Amino acid sequence: MKKFAIILYTAVTLALLAWGFYQAWYVAPADAMQGEIYRVIFYHVPSASVAFLFFAISLLGSIGFLAYRRSHPDWAQRSDAWALAGAEVGVVFCTVVLLTGPIWGRRAWGIWWTWDARLTTTLVLWLIYVSYLLLRRFVAGPQMQTLAAVLGIFGALDVPIVYMSNRWWRTQHPAPVFGGDSSAGMAPAMVTALMWNMLAWLAWGILILGIRYRVERQHQKIAEREAQAALIA
């Protein structure tokens, strides 16, 4: 039953991705000002949303690990697996954001990169979570999970400060398209296409996140079994 549900979910996700692709490239009209290049938004914005969501999951996992590590070791292990999966898949989506952004920026702004609040925050966020993954590689033994959780909390704490500091410094990124002033907004066909792509990439991200979580849980179980075997022998 569980297997069937996973296969069904995968099939729905792939169908959504195909439908999102069709919407983005054939249904949504070209932009009046930007032409075809604006279609980057169908990949850039969903990836950014998914990346931020997964970093939040990683933070919750880190807090959960520190909270439960004495009282409920099994919950703590699950939390740690979520923290790792969130950070790792989040970094992948964040990389997509950082790659698609300059492609659009080159055409729309005439420059690949600028040290604007959102760009810098995203880059620093990416750097923080890469350093988190490096820490997990470098530290051996069971204390790694504790140290990684501490760094995860520090990293998340840094994000609002980075954002504020850059906001005071300079800002060039387009203002929010939705809920902005009267000049903001998109054609209805574009909004529909964007929403389909949001849904599709979110579904895809959750699928990958789930797989990564499963893999990490298997790792933990193997490590535990080996530790038990070593104790007996």
Task: Of 102, 98, 79, give the one whose Cα is nearest residue 90.
Answer: 98
Token pair in block for residue 170? 């300079």
Which of 169, 221, 222, 223 is the binder for another protein (CB under 8 A)? 169
Q: Does 171 bind another protein (CB under 8 A)?
A: no
Of 75-83, 99-107, 148-156, 197-205: span binding another protein (CB under 8 A): 148-156
Verify binding: residue 142, another protein, rule CB under 8 A: yes
Q: Does 22 bind another protein (CB under 8 A)?
A: no
Residue 60 exposure: Cα atoms within 13 Å on the Cβ side = 11
Binding to another protein (CB under 8 A) within 60-119 occurs at 66
- CA–CA distance, 186 with 15 (Å, rounded to integer): 25
d(CA 183, CA 160): 27
Count other Cβ atoms within 10 Å, centred on residue 84. 26
CB 59 within 8 A of CB 156: yes
Q: Is 215 in the site for another protein (CB under 8 A)?
A: no
Between 8 and 157, CB nearer to another protein: 157
127 binds another protein (CB under 8 A): yes
| 227: contact with another protein by CB under 8 A | no
Q: How far is the CB of 100 from another protein (least distance, A)?
A: 22
**Is 122 one of the binding residues for another protein (CB under 8 A)?**
no
Rounded-to-integer distance, Cα 29 and Cα 36, Å: 9
Q: How far is CA 29 from the centre of its chain?
A: 28
Q: Which residues bind another protein (CB under 8 A)?
A: 66, 124, 127-128, 131-132, 134-135, 138-143, 146-147, 150-151, 153-155, 157-158, 161-162, 164-166, 168-169
